[in-house]
Amino acid sequence: MLQGKQTWLFQSKPFIAASAAVGGPFEAKGLLSKDFDILHDDVWLGQDSFEKAEKVLLQEACETAIKKAGLKKEQVQFFISGDLMNQIISSSFAARALGIPYLGVFGACSSSMESLALASFIIDNKGADYIVAGASSHNVSAEKQFRYPTEYGGQKPPTAQWTVTGAGAGLISSKGSGPRIVCATIGKIVDKGISDPFDMGTAMAPAAVDTLLCHFNDLGIDPTYYDLIATGDLGNVGHAIASDLLEKSGMKIPPGIFTDCGTLIYSKDQPVMSGASGCACSATVTYGHFMNLMRKGDLRRLLVVATGALHSPISYQQKETIPCIAHAVSIEI
């Protein structure tokens, strides 16, 4: 059911029956390492390319979530996923291995909540009983595609972020137990003229704010309704900008409630500049850390606002600015 301008209310409140997070060696050194189901000690994952390694990360996350739900792949009706690679090859090739009917999405780093929102919408409208929603990214493959190959050794500014090597997946179900998906606010494109690919936080912050304001306006609720509101990967720079923009708009979210996945995943002594980024940033933090908190009873009402920069190497080379988007999903237990 549509509520207000751009928010879906899910009458059946689909379940996140199980979830999984997979990471690499850098993530194993971070603050949330205990929330990963699988951690690899090699960024190659035994593959002969980083792109193939990313496919393995996503496949493992999906298979782990399905197994934790006590299901077989044949029982899952759809797989919805996105990533950062050209033509979302990580998701498509993972779908080839999984053999599950597939819908590929591209919301850049907002893909984790885009896939979750769509899965919930389909289940709420009785289009399926079981759907796997996921997203992935790989530090080296993303650097090679969007900036400079790691081997180049280019110096990065303080506004830059570290793309997470990992994948997160949730098994969304029409029945069961656990966290439930209450609603989703679908974002619109916001472009404030930022064109620097080393400053994604500044580019994406206005989109996050736009979606948050719409979410609370559509539902007629206050930010304090939630125990935690987490943006996807704004990092330290973008999160500070989003807080300022919200306050200027007349909405001040208490610091204890408002956080960012990109500021949570790594430790302070890891050289990640402004923080973490990538599709796997919000995916692993949500399907790993946040789901564990909810299942332990430490978190009851959660709003995840995954943020995405919808540029490409071609648009950057053509001097285009960076269009951004943010999708919010409300999860309660």
What confidence score (pLDDT) does residue 172 get? 98
What confidence score (pLDDT) does residue 94 get? 98
Q: Do domains 2-173 and 180-332 have the same CATH topology?
A: yes
In whole angstroms, give the CA distance from residue 295 to residue 277.
25
Q: Where are the domains of the chain?
A: 2-173, 180-332
What confidence score (pLDDT) does residue 151 get? 62
Arch. (CATH architecture) of 180-332: 3-Layer(aba) Sandwich (3.40)
CA–CA distances in Å: residue 261 to residues 110, 233, 278: 12, 6, 10
10-residue mean pLDDT series, the chain (333 residues): 96 98 97 98 95 98 98 98 96 98 97 98 98 97 74 72 95 95 98 91 97 98 97 96 96 93 95 93 98 97 97 88 97 97
What confidence score (pLDDT) does residue 152 get? 55
| Burial of 126 per CB tally in 10 Å (0-12, 13-18, 19+) | exposed
What confidence score (pLDDT) does residue 316 get? 81
What confidence score (pLDDT) does residue 147 get? 67
What confidence score (pLDDT) does residue 157 get? 76
- What does the angle CA 56 – CA 58 – CA 60 come to, to the nearest 5 degrees? 65
**CATH topology (fold) of 2-173:** Peroxisomal Thiolase; Chain A, domain 1 (3.40.47)
